[in-house]
Amino acid sequence: MKLNLRLSSLKSRISRFRLPSLPLDLRKIESFDNDHYKIIAYGLGAVILLMIIAGFTAFFLTLRGAEQTMVPDVRGKELSQALVTMQERELYPRLSLRFTDDPAERGMIVDQSPTPGAIVKAGRRVQITVSRGTVADKVGDYVGQDVNEVKIRLQTLFAGTKALLSIKEPPIYVFNRAPAGTILEQKPQADTELSGPAVLELVVSRGPEKAMSRVPDFSGLSIEGALLLIERENLVVSFSMREAARGEKQGAVASQAPAAGSMVAAGSRISITLTKPAPAVGMVSGIYSRSLPEYPFPLKASLEALGPSGERTPILIIDHPGGSFTAPYFLPAGSFLALSVLGQEVPPRVEVRAGQ
């Protein structure tokens, strides 16, 4: 019994003696677990990093540059053919339209960008220009219209492109009851197809044959009164101006030729002599004179005064046959005189100055 008690006591002491070593084992286990966790964390981080790298690699491989291709030459082809050709090269067209000089080019490719032979990536857009044909593909019907208006219309129509239709100069002028300048006949006829440049031959009215008219009486009229009568009767007048003699009215008609009441052919020139207006501060009087080309029939001509502040004042508006154009004026110094024919100004302008 005593031996058993001693053994139990000894075991109890031994057991108590080994207990302090237990915390040391736990620290080892904790240290081992921390190292293990670090290894696992690093491993997971490496795996995630590899996955990210693999993902980016796959992404960029997916978006790698498209294959290169050569731009074909589609100029001169019809639009449908050009689209098929570009589709075969995996290119996409961007269309634009414009007028051209050749009627046969209608619906065909006339320009492209990039130029043929350029190396580009597949899928690129290529700018191609398709011809709308010519501005006019048929001859218009101009009979009954004014020849000058037709000329202006054709110039405007073909502005910036080659003129497919031009008027043969000079037209054939004949006397006719139709107003002067009216187109009576044309060749080619209206609706003729235009396959290239064509010349339009016109027969134009010169107006009725000249009739006789009676010369009105200008004696004693002021400058303004004489100009009003000229516009009303649509007369062609050659003016001159001189100092007023004793007893003569200043700024009025001194003489005329032919005499009032004379019978002359319509459109004949009348000569009128004026006396200078009474002097006024800052005002200048004189005769405007300009030589114009001879016209086949009278054209609308107008003389305007442009004041120093920009205002425009009509002086004389008549149908003029060309040649010498004269008109009197009494204007502030520094004004300008501007002559227009058919609405187009005939340069240069003339400045009104004292002592002219």
Q: What is the pLDDT of residue 65?
A: 47
Q: How far is Cα 86 from Cα 95, in angstroms, rounded to an integer?
A: 13
Q: Do domains 68-131 and 212-351 have the same CATH topology?
A: yes
Amino acid (one-letter) located at 19: L
Q: What is the pLDDT of residue 47?
A: 79
Q: What is the pLDDT of residue 271?
A: 97
Q: Would you list the domain boundaries of the chain?
A: 68-131, 147-207, 212-351
pTM score of the predicted model: 0.56
Query: Which CATH entry fits the domain spanning 212-351: 3.40.640.10, 3.30.420.10, 1.10.10.10, 3.30.10.20?
Result: 3.30.10.20
Q: What is the pLDDT of residue 164?
A: 81
Tens digit of pLDDT at every position of the chain (356 positions): 444 555 555 555 545 544 444 444 545 555 555 666 667 777 777 778 888 887 766 665 554 545 788 899 989 888 888 888 888 888 888 888 877 767 677 788 889 898 898 888 888 888 988 887 666 778 899 999 999 999 988 888 887 777 788 899 889 998 898 988 999 999 999 988 887 788 999 999 988 877 778 899 999 999 999 999 999 998 999 999 999 999 999 999 999 999 999 988 877 899 999 999 999 999 999 999 999 999 888 899 999 999 878 889 999 999 999 999 999 999 999 999 999 999 899 999 999 987 66
Q: Hey, CA dihedral for 339, 301, 249, 308, is it positive or negative?
A: negative
Q: What is the pLDDT of residue 8?
A: 59
Q: CB 141: neighbour CB atoms within 10 A?
A: 12
Q: How far is Cα 335 from Cα 337, in angstroms, rounded to an integer?
A: 7
Q: What is the pLDDT of residue 24?
A: 46
**Alpha helices, DSSP H only, in 64-219?**
79-88, 147-157
Q: What angle do CA 231, 236, 242 make, to 5 degrees?
A: 95
Q: What is the 3-state secondary structure (H, E, C) of 318-345?
A: EEECCEEEEEEEEEECCCEEEEEECCEE
Q: Burial level of 282, CB count in 10 A (0-12/13-18/19+)? A: exposed
Q: Burial level of 177, CB count in 10 A (0-12/13-18/19+)? A: exposed
Q: Look up the CATH number of domain 68-131.
A: 3.30.10.20
